[in-house]
Each structure stands twice: as structure tokens, then as C-alpha cells.
A and B are shown apart, each in its own frame.
Chain A
Amino acid sequence: MPELQADRTERSLADVFLEDIYSIPGGEKIKECIQCGTCSASCPTSYAMDYTPREVIAALRAGILDRVLKSNTIWLCASCYYCTVRCPSGVKLTDVMYELKRLAVEFGLADEKAKAPVVSKLFVDLVDKNGRISEVELVSKFLLKTNPFAAIGMMPRAWKLLVRGRMPLVPHRIKGISELEKCASTISEVSGLHAGTGKIEKAT
């Protein structure tokens, strides 16, 4: 649906973001953030983030969401849900982070140094191909893509796993893979639980 793509890319990032967030059950709670910082204090990785979770919401309000999307912050969220369960206003911060990850990829803004989007894209490709993920295939393709030299450093660990039978080399493909494709083809690849159908082009 070309109209839909155009619609998404022409509107401001903040609008697209909010629409997607509001579509998650309980997503509208983001309006109730009181900037207390419980999320940032609870986050195990905030110490390494360009912007802490509290600052992410402040940035959204200040209309500088693009900076957040380009930052390392969103790729450091490990989905541990501490922020979500502790937020006194009920903001679903982990889901906010997921949404930011999706938007960064969709709009081509993801931090170039971040390796997490590379893993996510590989993960999606492999699951779409086989219906399941093979860890061995994921890790080896990831290393080839990001840092083939690091693969050499991984060899001792890989060898130890291999001799213990922990490196199954042939990926399993589910029988219903074509049915799964049929189901998936009815669904949009854009973000948002209520997004329409059709692939979205990168915003330029």
C-alpha cells in the first residue's frame, strides 16, 4: 500500500512514534511520565547509554526524537523489564524501547556502530527462512558480517562447545514454513500493532 508508506514517512517521527506506542495496550501511559528517573536508576545498562531512559522521554517531549534514534541507548536495552515494572506511572518503557528500535531501522537512522540491529536483521531473516533460529548459524553469520577477525578469538570456545555436542550444524526447518509465510504475507512489515499492509521504504 504505497499511500500508507508515504503517510508514515511524511509525518513527523514523533507522530508516527506516538501512534505506534498508543496502539500497544497501556501504551498511552507514556503521557503520564513524571520524569522521576526510576527507570534510569533501575536500568542495568544505563551507565553505558548516550541518553538514559528518563532522558528518552524528555527528548520525545522536546521534539528531538531523531537524536535518540541515532544513539546507542536503544541498542543497549536488553529487555529486562525492570523499568517497566518499577515505573510509578505505568509507562511501558521496554515496549517504548522496542518501538524506538523498530523506528530507527525503518527510518534508516540506526547507529552505524551498533551491532544489535545487525543481529536483529539476521535473526528475522533466519526465522523467516526456517521458522526457527539456529544459534550456530546466527552467531557465525553475525561474526562474518561484523568482525571476521573476532571469529578467530572465538575459536577456543567454539571448539569446546563442538566437542561437547553443543554446536548442531544443520538448521532445522519447520514443516509448516510455507503456511507461516502465507500468514505473514497478510501482515505489514512496518511497526505498530495496527499498521496496515505493505513494505515500507526507507525514509531519505
Chain B
Amino acid sequence: MQARAEFSYYPGCSVEGMNKAYDKSARVVCEALSIDLAELNDWNCCGASAYMSIRELRAHLLSARNLALAEKEKKDLVVVCPACLTTLAKTNHYLKEDSGFKRTISAALKAADLQYMGSVKVRHLIEIIVNEVGEQEIKAKVKRKLSGLKVAPYYGCQLTRPFGEIDDKEFPTMFDKLLQWIGAQPVNFPLKAKCCGGLLMMTNEDVGLELNRTLLNCAAENGAECLGTLCPLCHMNLETYQDSVNKKFGTDYKIPTLYFTQLLGLAFGYSRKILGINEELIPSQQITEKYAKVV
């Protein structure tokens, strides 16, 4: 198979920390699909919401440094975290739309002998897999079909909002399609793009737990046996706080939560360990083994 375009890979701080399994499984899946990911050398934090909340211009500078580093490599930037996607893309937009802003950022970058001409596109991995690799190739790679596994595809907020360049802003479908290609069954999930609260779980736990209860309830009511995620922060909230939701609301959710890359990896025949599935708090062995059919 011919190798695809090469990308600079921007893991982001979260998958370097508590959500390493996302990074592991993303790399495994990309290798399987001949997506050449070279980690962006010496990348820094994108300046996402907590930073931008109190330092706007500096947050954009953080993003701009990453964009400048990627431009040096002459590659587009691939991210796995939707918050990084939105922050980096926002900086890219402002640089195109506002010449005064561009002058300030360019002058700041120059202090470190960096420059950014605006040629880098920031893309989320799921979009590359769905749009560039596509149905045929994904289906051809499937070794263990996840036949009938009912997954609630959870997109969260920032994959498609605010820009909506890759899918519908309110009712995206690309993850649903991907699940079908590997034999799984995406359930109807009306809250698929509703907010999990992000960092509110830390700063206002009552509200954070309420938002997650609503999501878990919606997934369960629609018959989901598993939640599929594509954002490390959503994943953290939905997966590691299910016991707290249960405690607060007297519920009994134990819905296994897996990254889209882990689901793909399972279908491609990789072991749970290599995909970091053993690092999750909620056991998923039962469902993934029940449905995996060797093709």
C-alpha cells in the first residue's frame, strides 16, 4: 500500500498524562493504516480554555509556536484532543482574519527566531481516518468484527464547534459511520454533542456530575453497552467519574468507555494491552469479547 501524506502529530498534554491509552491506541491504529505520524518536536501546551480564560493573547502565542514548528516540518498537524483542535484552529483563523493580531504574534515568534506564514492545517485524527482512509480500506483491515456491539458515539463539544469545518456542529455523524465500518452498531444518541462539563468536574463537581449523569442516562436508555469517545477530557469525566455519579444519584452505571482508536484497534485484531484498554477503570472485556468475531 502506498504511504499517505506525512503528518506532524500533536499529542497534547492530556494524553501525555492520565490518558496515555489514547495516545498508545492512536499510534497503533495509524501504523496499521499507514498514516505516518511523526511527533512534533518539542511541542508545547496549546493554551486551551483554562489558559485562554485569563491570558488570551499568550494562549494564541502558545498555539502559534506549535503551528510555526509544524510549518518548519512542512506538514499538517494532527491532533487527538478536540480542545487542542479548537484552540490551534482558532489561532490559525485569527491570524488570517486580523492583520494587527498577526503582527503582534509574528513579532513575538521572532524573539525565538520562529516564523509562521499560515500554511499549516490542523486536523483531528478521526476526520483523517474517516475522510482520507475511508470505508473500503477500514473494512479491509478488520480482522475481528465487533458485530452488534452497541456503542453510544460521544463527540463532545469542540470537535465540531465552533467552526464546524469537518462535520455538523450539532449532530455530527462521522464517528457513527466509522463504528458501522467495523461492524459495531451506533445507537441513537441525541446528546452525542452535548457538553460533559470539561474542567467543571474539578471546579464545580455538582454541575459536572449532573451533566455526566444526563449523558450516561441517555446512553443507557438507548441501549448502549459501551461509550465511544474521542476527547481525553470527556473520556476522563465519563469513565473515571461513573462511580461518583452513582454515589450522588443512586444509579448503577458501569458502562465501559473506550476511545474510538481502541475500538478500531480491537477490530483490527490488536490486543487489549497494546491498546491500553487494561488501563481503564471500568472492565470492558465481557462486551468486547462477546462481540468480537474473527473475520
Q: Footprint of B on A, CB under 8 Å?
A: 24-25, 44-45, 48, 75-76, 78-82, 84-86, 92, 94, 98-99, 101-102, 105-106, 114-121, 123-124, 127, 131-136, 139, 142, 157, 160-161, 164-168, 172, 174-176, 179-180, 182-189, 191-195
Contact = CB atoms under 8 A, between A and B. Distances in A.
A188 B58 CA distance: 8
B98 interface: yes
A79 B281 contact: no
A102 B54 contact: yes
B199 A78 contact: yes
Contact of A75 (B65, B107, B203): B203
A166 B65 contact: no
Contacts of B194: 44, 80
Nearest to B211: A44
Interface of B: 13-14, 16-21, 42-45, 47, 49-58, 60-62, 65, 86, 93-94, 97-98, 100-101, 104, 107-109, 111-114, 157-158, 161-162, 164, 169-170, 194-195, 197-200, 202-204, 206-207, 211, 240, 243, 278-281
B6 to A, nearest CB: 22
20 contacts: A44-B194, A45-B200, A45-B207, A48-B207, A80-B198, A81-B157, A81-B162, A114-B203, A118-B203, A119-B50, A119-B199, A123-B50, A131-B45, A183-B65, A187-B104, A188-B57, A189-B55, A189-B58, A193-B94, A194-B104
Nearest to B21: A166
Contacts of B20: 165-166, 168
Instruction: Select the residue from B20, B100, B111, B198 with max chain A CB neighbours within 10 A.
Output: B111
A132 to B, nearest CB: 5
A25 B164 contact: no
The 5 closest A-B pairs by CB, nearest first: A179-B112, A80-B195, A81-B161, A80-B157, A135-B17
B186 to A, nearest CB: 22
Contacts of A187: 57-58, 61, 104, 108
A48 B197 CA distance: 12
Nearest to A179: B112
B164 A174 contact: no
Given A160-B281, A164-B281, A75 B204 contact: yes
Instruction: Select the residue from A166, A182, A188 with max chain B CB neighbours within 10 A.
Output: A166
B112 A165 contact: no
B284 to A, nearest CB: 13
A116 B161 contact: no
A80 B194 CA distance: 8
Contacts of A164: 278-281
Contacts of A102: 53-56
A82 to B, nearest CB: 7
A3 B142 CA distance: 65
B53 A116 contact: yes
Contacts of A174: 42-44
A44 B195 contact: yes
A101 B169 CA distance: 25
Contacts, number: 202
Nearest to B240: A157
Contact of A124 (B51, B93, B100, B281): B51
A182 B18 contact: no
A69 B86 CA distance: 25
A176 B44 contact: yes
A81 B164 CA distance: 11
A186 B52 CA distance: 17
B50 A135 contact: no
A157 B278 CA distance: 16
A185 B111 contact: yes
A94 B203 contact: no
Given A119-B202, A135-B14, A164-B278, A186 B49 contact: no
Given A119-B202, A124-B51, A25 B98 contact: yes
Contact of B169 (A78, A85, A172): A85
Contacts of A76: 200, 204, 207
A48 B161 CA distance: 23
Instruction: Select the residue from A94, A142, A164, A191 with max chain B CB neighbours within 10 A.
Output: A164
